[in-house]
Amino acid sequence: MIQLFLIIGIVAIVVSGMFLGVWTSGQQQRSNYHSETKEHRAFRLKVGIFSGLIGLVSLGLAGLLFYI
């Protein structure tokens, strides 16, 4: 059960990072910012934050289950 929450947490954090543009260079982020619409940016932000929260909760549950 702990491994399941760890896998979900790690995958959700990676997805969040991809949608938020965490692993891109500054030049690439500026290029993306100027080439996308407000709606697209808002969608990416929502998905990134939502998956990041899922990842944090899953990792927290895995940690809790480990110590219990």
Helix/strand/coil (H/E/C) assignment for every residue in the chain: CHHHHHHHHHHHHHHHHHHHCCCCCHHHHHHHHHHCCHHHHHHHHHHHHHHHHHHHHHHHHHHHHHHC
Query: What is the pLDDT averaged over residues 7-34?
Result: 93
What's the rounded mean pLDDT across residues 57-62? 97
Predicted TM-score (pTM) of the model is 0.86
The residue segments making up the domain with residue 53 are 2-67
Domain tally, the chain: 1
Q: Is the pLDDT at 68 greater than 90, yes or no?
A: no
Q: What is the mean pLDDT of residues 34-47?
A: 94
